[in-house]
Amino acid sequence: TAVDPFDLVIFGGTGDLARRKILPALYRRFCAGQFREGARIIGAARADLGTRGYRAFVAEALREAAAEEAGDAAALDAFLATLDYVSLDARGDRGWPELAAKLTEDRVRACFFSVGPSLFAPLAERLRRHGIVTDRTRIVVEKPFGHDLDSARALNATLAAHFHERQIFRIDHYLGKETVQNLMAVRFGNMLFEPLWNSLFVDHVQITVAEAVGVRGRGEYYDRAGAMRDMVQNHLMQLLCLIAMEPPSKFDPDAVRDEKLKVIRALDPVQPHHIVRGQYVAAPGRDEPGYREEVGNPRSTTETYVALKVGISNWRWAGTPIYLRTGKRLVARSSVINVVFKHAPHSIFGEDAGQHANILSIRLQPNEGITLQVTIKEPGPGGIRLIDVPLDMTFAEALGPEGAHHPDAYERLVVDVLRGNQTLFMRGDEVEAAWAWTDPIIEGWESRGDVPKPYEVGSTGPTDAELLMRRDNRRWLGIR
């Protein structure tokens, strides 16, 4: 169903994120008929573009990002007609009265902070000062949300001075991914899994977010952040929470976020020997540069890879480790959660049958879907030999072409902001708890002067990460 007319302001409306993600998502929702007559999108950035200039800029961005839909000239024109633009300075007062004058009374005002984090506080203050904040104003904040616990607390405090928590939408775009939401549907919509979803039946969980790309134009930011801050504290932590949380009593923002928070608070501190840090180096015969060359910092000790063994001290999970790993310039792009069940307690088929485990794989990308590995008899007239086969729920096959089309995470999240639904956004206390767990790990590296282990571009990561598993008689499931 369509959302009521709104004013949506994109601060940083000419930036990379706006161009590649936010505007294409808005355009797709517009084409899907989700906006009513009168909806308005206002770009706000430093450049002196004017409305016509901005429309041309957006048309170009849509041609790049939303190629098929942008081919529909009538739809494109209709969408461009919803766009307006204000040139303003987030740190000064230039442009703000013009912005205020463009807004409509009694409407949802969604303000996307698609700017660097140093502008979050100045924007919040100026929104207030120029009378733009009403009860129906919402702000959307991108990562990074702080650099550590102290800065996250300070940022939360600044935002809280101007907005209620129910007005603050902290984006973790992983939560907008279709399969991530499906993870909750599978866990809590079926009888089959939940009774087995604990340390009695689950041997361990692996969460892998492998990227094939390097730091792309974000080297300067990345070199100060590293994989722990850029990926683990937010995205992998969110996935871990959804896997490990208790069933919320209902699918509503506070019920879900309360349960996630309890998981983060139950995480054990990570032992140094349960962490592997890596940094990619050039590989023979490949063109991609090593990390230090790519960011132009020959002495950088920033990690581009991290693998961790994480324990959760509660009744459900004590004794069942969660292994996390993420890295850049790995062999393939692949995000997957594997829930590895225990072996059957006794094999009636004898030693030769080997040991088999059920594995529930939730693939976020590519090829989104869910697979349950089950053990069956190998076909044939001989004795009973066991093999593992996938019970595949690739959405494209099960649901037809419609099922194969997954809206981009931002499409879902944008509409949730307009509707005021915070379930898939992080609450302030959640973010702080995640930093409280992450900080000692990073401080440990800093105090020990830790240097990340090199791994070759196009590999599966440092060999130490294999050892981390092997010590526990386990192995990583393949990245591809």
Footprint of ligand NAD on this chain (CB under 6 A)?
A: 12-18, 45-47, 88-91, 114-117, 119, 142-144
Residues 6+ apart with CB under 8 A from 46: 14, 87, 88, 89
Nearer to ligand NAD, 294 or 456 (CB): 294
Rounded to 10 deg, the angle between the 50-65 and 73-80 helix axes is 140
In the complex, what is the shortest distance from the CB of residue 111 to ligand NAD, in angstroms, rounded to a whole number? 13
The DSSP symbol for 302 reads: -
**Which strands form 108-113's sheet, in the order they lie side by side?**
83-87, 40-45, 6-11, 108-113, 137-141, 168-170
Buried b (16+ CB within 10 A) or exposed e, 58-82: bbebbeebbeebbeeeeebeebbeb
Nearer to ligand NAD, 151 or 394 (CB): 151
Cα–Cα distance measured from residue 10 to residue 22, given in angstroms and rounded to the nearest whole number? 9
In the complex, what is the shortest distance from the CB of residue 120 to ligand NAD, in angstroms, rounded to a whole number? 8
In the complex, what is the shortest distance from the CB of residue 53 to ligand NAD, in angstroms, rounded to a whole number? 13
Report helix, strand or coil for 423.
Answer: coil
Nearer to ligand NAD, 18 or 244 (CB): 18
Could you tell me the end-to-end alpha-carbon distance of the chain, in angstroms, rounded to an integer?
38
Nearer to ligand NAD, 136 or 147 (CB): 147
Nearer to ligand NAD, 142 or 203 (CB): 142
Q: Is the distance from CB of 168 to CB of 139 less than 8 angstroms? A: yes
Cα–Cα distance measured from residue 477 to residue 206, given in angstroms and rounded to the nearest whole number? 8
Nearer to ligand NAD, 17 or 205 (CB): 17
In the complex, what is the shortest distance from the CB of residue 85 to ligand NAD, in angstroms, rounded to a whole number? 11
Active site includes 235?
Answer: yes
Cα–Cα distance measured from residue 34 to residue 29, given in angstroms and rounded to the nearest whole number? 6
Q: Is the distance from CB of 86 to CB of 53 less than 8 angstroms? A: no
Nearer to ligand NAD, 142 or 303 (CB): 142
Nearer to ligand NAD, 47 or 185 (CB): 47
Cα–Cα distance measured from residue 271 to residue 441, given in angstroms and rounded to the nearest whole number? 9
In the complex, what is the shortest distance from the CB of residue 174 to ligand NAD, in angstroms, rounded to a whole number? 11
In the complex, what is the shortest distance from the CB of residue 117 to ligand NAD, in angstroms, rounded to a whole number? 5
> Counting every residue, how long is the chain?
480
Residue from 212, 369, 374 nearest 283 by CA: 212
In the complex, what is the shortest distance from the CB of residue 202 to ligand NAD, in angstroms, rounded to a whole number? 32
Buried b (16+ CB within 10 A) or exposed e, 14-30: bbebbbebbbbbbbbbb
Token pair recorded at residue 264: 């983060």
Cα–Cα distance measured from residue 181 to residue 238, given in angstroms and rounded to the nearest whole number? 12
Q: Is the distance from CB of 49 to CB of 85 less than 8 angstroms? A: yes
Q: Which residue is nearest to ligand NAD (CB)?
A: 15
Distance of CA 381 to the CA centre of its chain: 48
Nearer to ligand NAD, 220 or 252 (CB): 220
Pairing of strands 108-113, 137-141: parallel
Token pair recorded at residue 311: 């324990």
Cα–Cα distance measured from residue 114 to residue 13, given in angstroms and rounded to the nearest whole number? 7
Q: Which of 204, 235, 274, 356 is catalytic?
A: 235
Distances (CA, A) of 335 to 197, 363, 426, 436: 21, 6, 20, 25
Residue from 96, 453, 30 nearest 277 by CA: 453
In the complex, what is the shortest distance from the CB of residue 115 to ligand NAD, in angstroms, rounded to a whole number? 4
In the complex, what is the shortest distance from the CB of residue 4 to ligand NAD, in angstroms, rounded to a whole number? 27
Residue from 111, 210, 130, 193 nearest 465 by CA: 210
| Catalytic sites, residue numbers | 235
